[in-house]
Amino acid sequence: MYRTHTCGELRMQHVGNTVVLSGWVQSRRDFGGMTFIDLRDRYGITQLFFDESTDAELCALARKLGREYVVRVEGKVRERSNKNPDRPTGDIEIEVQKLDILNESKVPPFTIEEETDGGDELRMTYRYLDIRREPVKEKLIFRSKLAIETRKYLSEHGFIEVETPFLIKSTPEGARDFVVPSRLHAGQFYALPQSPQTFKQLLMVAGMDKYFQIVKCFRDEDLRADRQPEFTQIDCEMSFVSREDILNTFEGLTKHLFKEVLGVALPDFPRMSYDEALRRFGSDKPDLRFGMEFVELNEQVKGKGFSVFDSAELVVGICAEGQAAAYSNKDIKKLTEWLQRPQIGAKGLVYVKFNEDGSIKSSVGKFFEEEALRSWAEHAGAKPGDMLLILAGEAEKTRKQLSELRLEMGRRMGLMKPGVFKPLWVVDFPLLEWDEETQRFHAMHHPFTAPKREDVERMLSGDRETMKQLRADAYDLVINGAEIGGGSIRIHDRALQEKNFKLLGFTREEAEAQFGFLMGAFEYGAPPHGGIAFGFDRLCAVMQGQQSIRDFIAFPKNNQGRDLMIDAPSPIAEEQWEELHLCLRQSEDS
Ligand code: ASP
């Protein structure tokens, strides 16, 4: 028998019992005639005790144990004289009577404890060692609980889990596809799904009514910090539903998960239109843990002879409470430089400090009377001690820049409190997005999203400006400034779907070649339907107050999209090139 108990289980009530434990040697401490070992498994750490005067041979064997040796011990539970209140098993230790070495270990390349000395790359190369560490292991356990609770809730609400294929057809919309060459069909390729979108819609046509799947998705996007080429979604679709039915169901799921896994009761989620979110926060995923809402100042500041403001489409600011005294000229300069970095691209920053003593200091003090500045304060609700930060320029860009500044100020002012969760639904997204570069429209969500019913008429009749105004029955769930999920009511009618593809610049032939299977299915009694997908990795990270999704993935890729542990991607053998007909093109050309 390898064990009677786990390393996280024994307490005072077990004192006197003879037990068997198995696990890894985390650390060994030798003092005079005594040796202490911390033995670890998934469940915790238990202290082992060896005494030279009781059994010299056993103690000598214990002193041979290196870090991460795998051992089995038999012994008696006894009360510790020197208790460790930080450990659930800290009141007891095992007086070892028998020790078996089950396996040896090389010296690990980094310390396997809460805090480690290993850098990112090294830990990813030895991910199986990193997972032995408490914080990494706990995140995977958390993820597992979340997945189980998701399945519980959805199956209790009538959803069935259906697996959809991973080898599908490449469709050049959204992100880039990962492709898989076919051996049996020379020159042809499968693609890995960016999401099961078309399949879940076909399941609705098939009458499955409520579908879900916790599913891997693959997107070959450009590298960015914290982006994983494969990630997991809680993917869902429902028939005969309105937007409200979907929002309520998935608000219910979210509340259930927070309650069951975190013990947090979330209040009802507010709804905010896309336009309102942009106006008030400059972002379609506002962090509502703090206010600092946008204050539009066009009326207050224009026509007073300050050309930067006069020529701007929008002058807009935020009021940073109590920050007037905290920012020296040098700090303001640094903040301005931060805003001027290419990632943000603001031209400049105007500040107005409303000092505690009633005086006012501003970078535009030369251009505006004190009375004018006071009227801004009133408009912005600024009190003595507060500081107004103002940006000006083209509306859309300026809002984006100010949104970055708002988040940065929120961070600096400690307003993004851990353990506080502020969910909201952002609704009524634009249907289409104009892309200057390619001079065509893209679907803001995806091409299967339905316009709002009242906009269907305008859909084909209008010009470019009308097209930009079309609204979709699309929605996002946002928590603490992170997009957790998004979905929409879908088009379920062939004619409307064809229209939409046309708007998006597809020729009839292209639409037919790529999505004919879906439009064909719509001709056989497609029910009205809609759905949503949550980013599962992101949900885990946000619930745990973490920035990065990487640690919630057992075997993640690094920022270059590489798996350092198995060393992928990697070259393939010459025979494979041939078998997969990958030399075909070249030889045909030559
Ligand atoms: N398939 C969509 C996505 O991956 C989600 C949805 O519309 O249900 O974003």
Q: How much is the average pLDDT of 207-216?
A: 98
For ligand 1, the distance from its centroid to the CA atom of residue 255, given in whole angstroms, is 21
pLDDT digit string (tens) for 60-106?
999 999 999 999 999 999 999 999 999 999 999 999 999 999 999 99
Query: Looking at ligand 1, which atom is closest to the CA of residue 448?
Result: 7
Edge-to-edge strand ranges of the sheet holding 295-296: 295-296, 314-320, 387-393, 350-354, 360-362
* Phi, psi dihedral angles at 428 (to 5 degrees): 60, 50
- Whether residue 288 has pLDDT greater than 90: yes
**pLDDT, average across residues 164-192:** 91
Residues β-bridged to residue 424: 478
Give distance in angstroms: CA of 345 to centre of ligand 1: 31
Beta bridge partners of 443: 432
- CA pseudo-torsion sign 190, 192, 195, 200: positive
Give the number of other CB atoms < 10 A from CB of residue 106. 8
Where residue 457 falls among pLDDT bands split at 50, 70, 90?
confident
Residue 221 makes CB contacts below 8 A (sequence gap 6+) with 175, 176, 227, 229
177, 197, 212: residue to mutate for ligand 1 pocket, most atoms within 8 A of CB: 197
Q: 536 CA to middle of ligand 1, Å?
A: 13
Q: Where are the beta strands (DSSP E) in 219-375?
A: 230-239, 271-273, 295-296, 314-320, 350-354, 360-362
Tell how far the Cα of 514 is from the centroid of ligand 1, in angstroms. Answer: 18
Q: Which atom of ligand 1 is nearest to the CA of 236?
A: 8
pLDDT value at residue 224:
79
295 alpha carbon – ligand 1 mean position (Å): 34
Choice from 446, 475, 483, 536 to test ligand 1 binding pocket (greatest atom count within 8 A of CB): 446
Atom of ligand 1 nearest to the CA of 490: 7
Point out the ligand 1 atom lying closest to the alpha carbon of residue 233.
Answer: 4
Ligand 1: residue whose CA is nearest its atom 1? 197
Burial, 98: exposed, middle or buried (Cβ in 10 Å; 0-12, 13-18, 19+)? Answer: exposed
Q: So what's the pLDDT on residue 173?
A: 60
Q: How confident is the model at residue 589 (pLDDT cuts 50, 70, 90)?
A: low
**C-alpha of residue 580 to centroid of ligand 1, in Å:** 32
Give the max Cα distance, the chain: 94
Q: Which atom of ligand 1 is least distant from the CA of 217?
A: 4
CA distance 399 to 388: 15
Q: Compute, in angstroms, the gap from residue 449 CA to the centroid of ligand 1.
A: 10
Q: What is the CATH number of domain 12-103?
A: 2.40.50.140
The reported pLDDT for the residue numbered 584 is 55
- Work out the pLDDT band at 486, boundaries 50, 70, 90: very high
pLDDT for position 287: 98
pLDDT at position 172 is 64
**The pLDDT of residue 532:** 98
Residue 42 above 70 pLDDT? Answer: yes
| Other C-beta atoms lying within 10 Å of the C-beta of residue 246 | 22
**Model pLDDT, residue 118:** 93
Please state, as a whole number, how many other Cβ atoms lie within 10 Å of the Cβ of residue 389. Answer: 25
Work out the mean pLDDT of the chain and round it to a whole number: 95
> Whose CA is closest to atom 7 on ligand 1?
487
Say what percent of the chain tops pLDDT 90: 92
Q: Does the pLDDT value for residue 585 go beyond 60?
A: no
Distance 454 CA to ligand 1 centre (A): 23
Residue 583 confidence (pLDDT) = 79
Q: Is the pLDDT of residue 568 over 70?
A: yes
- The protein residue whose alpha carbon is closest to atom 4 in ligand 1 is 195
Distance 197 CA to ligand 1 centre (A): 6
Per-residue pLDDT tens digits for 341-386: 999 999 999 999 999 999 999 999 999 999 999 999 999 999 999 9
368 CA → ligand 1 middle, Å? 50
Reading the block at residue 87, the tokens are 């450990």
Kindly tell me if the per-residue pLDDT of 245 is higher than 90.
yes
Across 548-577, average pLDDT:
95
Tell how far the Cα of 532 is from the centroid of ligand 1, in angstroms: 6
CA 488 to ligand 1 centroid distance, Å: 8
Q: What is the pLDDT of residue 95?
A: 98
**Residues having CB within 6 Å of any atom of ligand 1:** 195, 197, 486-488, 531-533
Task: Give the architecture-level CATH label for domain 290-412.
Answer: 2-Layer Sandwich (3.30)
User: Which amino acid is it at 109?
Assistant: P
Q: What pLDDT, on the 0 to 100 scale, is given for residue 297?
A: 97
Q: Which of 495, 511, 509 is nearest to 460 (CA)?
A: 495
Tokens 């042809």 map to which residue? 188
Rounded to the nearest whole angstrom, what is the distance from the C-alpha of residue 236 to the centroid of ligand 1?
9
Note the pLDDT of residue 31. Answer: 93
257, β-bridge pairs? none
Please state the domain extents for the chain: 12-103, 290-412
Structure pTM?
0.94
Nearest ligand 1 atom to alpha carbon 194: 4
User: What pLDDT is recorded for position 410?
Assistant: 98
Dist. CA 277–CA 272, nearest whole Å? 6
**pLDDT recorded at residue 226:** 80
Q: Which atom of ligand 1 is nearest to the CA of 237?
A: 8
- Pocket residue to mutate for ligand 1, from 233, 234, 236, 426, most atoms within 8 A of Cβ: 233
pLDDT band at 465 (very low <50, low <70, confident <90, very high): confident
Question: What length is written for the chain?
Answer: 590
Q: Which atom of ligand 1 is nearest to the CA of 449?
A: 7
Answer yes or no: are the C-beta atoms of 359 and 365 closer than 8 Å.
no
How much of the chain, in percent, has pLDDT values that exceed 70?
98
Residue with CA at minimum distance from ligand 1 atom 8: 532
Among candidate residues 543, 569, 13, 524, the one with its CA nearest the CA of residue 234: 543
pLDDT band of residue 461 (cuts 50, 70, 90) is: confident
The residues near 150 (Cβ < 8 Å, ≥ 6 apart) are 212, 214, 234, 253, 257
pLDDT at 318: 98
Cα–Cα distances in angstroms (integers) from residue 272 to residues 371, 426, 453, 512, in the given order:
35, 5, 19, 36
Going by C-alpha positions, the residue among 467, 531, 457 that lies closest to residue 496 is 457
E-strand stretches of 257-358: 271-273, 295-296, 314-320, 350-354
